[in-house]
Structure formats: structure tokens, C-alpha cells
A = this chain, B = another copy of it.
């Protein structure tokens, strides 16, 4: 499994539109076969700081996701509402 944390600083006047636009991306990503979980989250301290927190079965599932129509069409719209692109981190869980 691979987790993704993708933070974005959204323009203050665009936050509600960002959330509304992301809805289709969230719903269609959750429906993908390789998705474990997929969520949009908002910072408790800064309402402009949003983060997609996701989990995928493997790297192939991420590549399939990145090529979907919902990803390639919606992500640029979301990007245009951001003040700043922040680093996207991919993680694997430490198994004990």
C-alpha cells in the first residue's frame, strides 16, 4: 500500500469552490479498484490549507489513477485555485 499526502494552499476566495470541484474527484477516486481510501481534508488551524490524504493498493494503482479522466480533467481546475503548490509526499507504512 502507498499513502499520499498532497497539501495545497487554496486562495481564500476559492475554498468553497475548491471543495465543490473536488467532490467528483473524491467520489470517482474512491470507486477505483485500486483505491483503499481517499479523502479531502481541511486544516483545523488554516481553512485555506487543504490536503488530499489517500491510500492506494500499489504503484500501478496510482499510475492508473493518474491517467483517469477524472484526475486529468479535475486536477488542473483545482491547481488554478491554489496560491501555492506544496510538496506531494508518498509513503509506505512501517510494518511492525
Contacts and interface: CB of A to CB of B under 8 A. Distances in A.
A61 B51 CA distance: 22
A76 to B, nearest CB: 20
A86 to B, nearest CB: 10
Question: How many subunits of this chain does the assembly comprise?
Answer: 2
Interface in A39-59: 39-45, 49-51, 53
A48 to B, nearest CB: 13
A82 to B, nearest CB: 16
B96 A41 contact: no
A43 B88 CA distance: 10
A5 interface: yes
A51 B19 contact: no
Interface in A45-96: 45, 49-51, 53, 89-94, 96
Given A3-B53, A5-B5, A53-B3, A43 B96 contact: no
